[in-house]
Structure 1
Amino acid sequence: MSLFTGTADYYRQYRPGIPEEVAAVLDRAAPTAAPRRLLDIGTGTGMVVEALGGRFDDIIAVDNDTGMLHIADAVLRPALPPGSSLALVASRAEDFRPPAGWQAHLVTICRAFHWLDQATVLELLDDQVASGGAVAVFGDSSFWSAGTPWKQAVWSVVQEFLGGERRAGSSTFEHHNRPYSEVMEESPFCQVEETRVPVHRTWTTEGILGCLHSTSFAAPHLLGDRLTDFGTAVKAALSEHSSGDTFTEDNDFLIRIGRRG
């Protein structure tokens, strides 16, 4: 079972997408080429590929969740520019191998690096990235990183229903204790540049609950027959923090661009 089993529809509808400012940073990180190749690892429902639409014309998107890939295919393929190619591959990052001779000008890993055997994947990418190419590891903070009173209230409900440790499917989440940039600096992509892109979001109760159900720590299957009770508890907790069903969030994307030394 995937860590995200049953979350794909929620993921597509409720997870925040990739801002244009982030897409522009990623675009600038990759050399120009013809064809220009993108490898998106942990693609989920294809949000990174969608955000970079038209900037790359030979794309491979990899994920081990076939439900996510099914939605990605339905979203991305109709919007594919003429002459472009898209391959969606069901695979763990550690097991993926591109076609012979295929090398990416940019590899993107968004909101997924924490699930990977990081050193192994970065070592494998050395053969999968073209000369002058780059690896981008990036993401924003999740609801688990409670930085506002309404997020703290949501976090408390999650813990009440699913325990104090962050769930990861049927197991618990194992936190990485090293900064991603430090891990990258010990890899072939050791020249690392960090960029922060601030984002301001406005949420509703429906959006918050839907986003929670898109995660590995509050997926519907984890809640079982308590799913409705969980929703009721989240709504009650949020009602204490807004009379107009409006919840604001200041977040940011931290983008780490790694290049060979």
Structure 2
Amino acid sequence: MTHSSVPAPSPDQETLFAAAAADYARYRPGVPEAAVRLLADTLRGRADPVLLDLGTGTGQVPLALRHAVPDLAHIEAVDVSRQMLDRARAALAPVLGRCTLTLVHATADEYQPPAPQPGEAVLRPALVTCCRSYHWMPGPAVLDMADRVTAPDAAVAIMGDGSLWTHQAEWTRALREVIQAYLGSERRAGTRTTYTEPRRSYQEDLAASAFTEVSEHRYPVARTWTPAAVVGYLRSTSFAHPDLFQERHEAFEAEAHHLLDTYAKDGTLQEEAVFTVLLARRPKAAS
């Protein structure tokens, strides 16, 4: 089932993510198993738990939790891109079983739960997840929405691990310099804007929300990339998407691939990242 919340995402948002869907599905790293276990534990022992995944992309988080939580009853997957939602549907459909799925074409802050059918209860998510997506969202408005729609004892998980733009290694610094040589020194965020750091940290957003009981969980992750996979990953990003380079994209990819080949050892490149989960709940007295 697919439905749209109102207002719909802007055309700029649609364009930014739509063209990246295939490369995102193929090249973006998944969620570490330790983080999946942490999220699954928040749903353990609940009857018919509901997951609300904001900025679902290709459905990585729902897919991981569907395998980890056999009793998961329903998934609400929200994204601004219909193409991303199509990829999420394709990934999730074979594993749903008795779990139901609603794909919601909307911005996260404007999400509204579907109206229940006669005799049905209103869906109250027990877990809200934002994986590598919260920085695209108006955070306080998203947390206000989560407060309105979730179960009293629900958890909110904001998680991510940066990107190859932010990763500090010799090969990623050199790669970033190549990107900047083509696109300028500022980090791009699509064809119209540059990236700006949030005015407040995620922790500050949570402290000002209903979800003030926060625990931080950090999971070291070692990844092995091939030069071809890094180039494919870059196509899925807002800072090195093909549209940014226009007619120079082919030249950029050739130069980037050559650079990565010079840094690769036995054909591979190493990334040492930290996947961080901020797991937040309302104070117990408010439950």
Asked if TM exceeds 0.5, the reply is yes
- Report how far residue 240 of structure 1 moved: 2.5
Corresponding residue SS for 1:127: helix
- Report how far residue 254 of structure 1 moved: 0.6
Give the aligned partner of residue 17 of structure 1. Answer: 30
Structure 2 Cα separation of the partners of residues 122 and 44 of structure 1: 19
Moved over 4 A (4+): none
Corresponding residue SS for 1:87: strand
Structure 2 Cα separation of the partners of residues 27 and 122 of structure 1: 21
Give the aligned partner of residue 21 of structure 2. Answer: 8
- Report how far residue 243 of structure 1 moved: 4.7
Structure 1 Cα separation of the partners of residues 252 and 103 of structure 2: 34
Q: Which amino acid aligns with 1:109?
A: C
Establish whether residue 43 from structure 1 lines up as the match of residue 56 from structure 2: yes
Give the aligned partner of residue 142 of structure 1. Answer: 163
Q: 1:138 touches 1:253 (CA, 8 Å); kept in 2?
A: yes
Establish whether residue 154 from structure 1 lines up as the match of residue 175 from structure 2: yes
- TM-score normalised by L of structure 2: 0.87
Q: Which amino acid aligns with 1:73?
A: R
Structure 1 Cα separation of the partners of residues 145 and 265 of structure 2: 51
Which of 250, 256, 275 is the aligned partner of 1:228?
250
Give the aligned partner of residue 92 of structure 2. Answer: 76
Corresponding residue SS for 1:209: helix
Higher helix share: 2
Q: 2:110 touches 2:145 (CA, 8 Å); kept in 1?
A: no
Structure 2 Cα separation of the partners of residues 94 and 193 of structure 1: 23
- Report how far residue 173 of structure 1 moved: 1.2
Cα deviation per residue 1:96-145 (whole Å; 9 max; x = unaligned)? 10124221000000001111110111011111110211000000120111
Which of 191, 209, 234 is the aligned partner of 1:187?
209
Q: 2:35 touches 2:219 (CA, 8 Å); kept in 1?
A: yes
- Report how far residue 228 of structure 1 moved: 0.9
How many residues end up aligned between the 2 structures?
A: 260
Establish whether residue 97 from structure 1 lines up as the match of residue 112 from structure 2: yes
Cα deviation per residue 1:169-191 (whole Å; 9 max; x = unaligned)? 12111211432112101100011
- TM-score normalised by L of structure 1: 0.96
Structure 2 Cα separation of the partners of residues 107 and 186 of structure 1: 17
Structure 2 Cα separation of the partners of residues 37 and 140 of structure 1: 25
Q: 2:111 touches 2:145 (CA, 8 Å); kept in 1?
A: no
Which of 188, 195, 203 is the aligned partner of 1:167?
188
Structure 2 Cα separation of the partners of residues 94 and 74 of structure 1: 25
Establish whether residue 200 from structure 1 lines up as the match of residue 222 from structure 2: yes
Structure 2 Cα separation of the partners of residues 242 and 102 of structure 1: 49
> Which deviates more from structure 2 when the two are superposed, residues 44-53 or residues 219-228?
219-228
Identity %: 39
Establish whether residue 27 from structure 1 lines up as the match of residue 40 from structure 2: yes
Instruction: Give the alignment's Cα RMSD to 1 decimal.
Output: 1.3
Structure 2 Cα separation of the partners of residues 139 and 211 of structure 1: 16
Structure 2 Cα separation of the partners of residues 70 and 11 of structure 1: 12
Cα deviation per residue 1:72-104 (whole Å; 9 max; x = unaligned)? 1111112212x1101111100121101242210
Q: Which amino acid aligns with 1:8?
A: A
Larger RCO (alpha carbons 8 Å, 6+ apart): 1
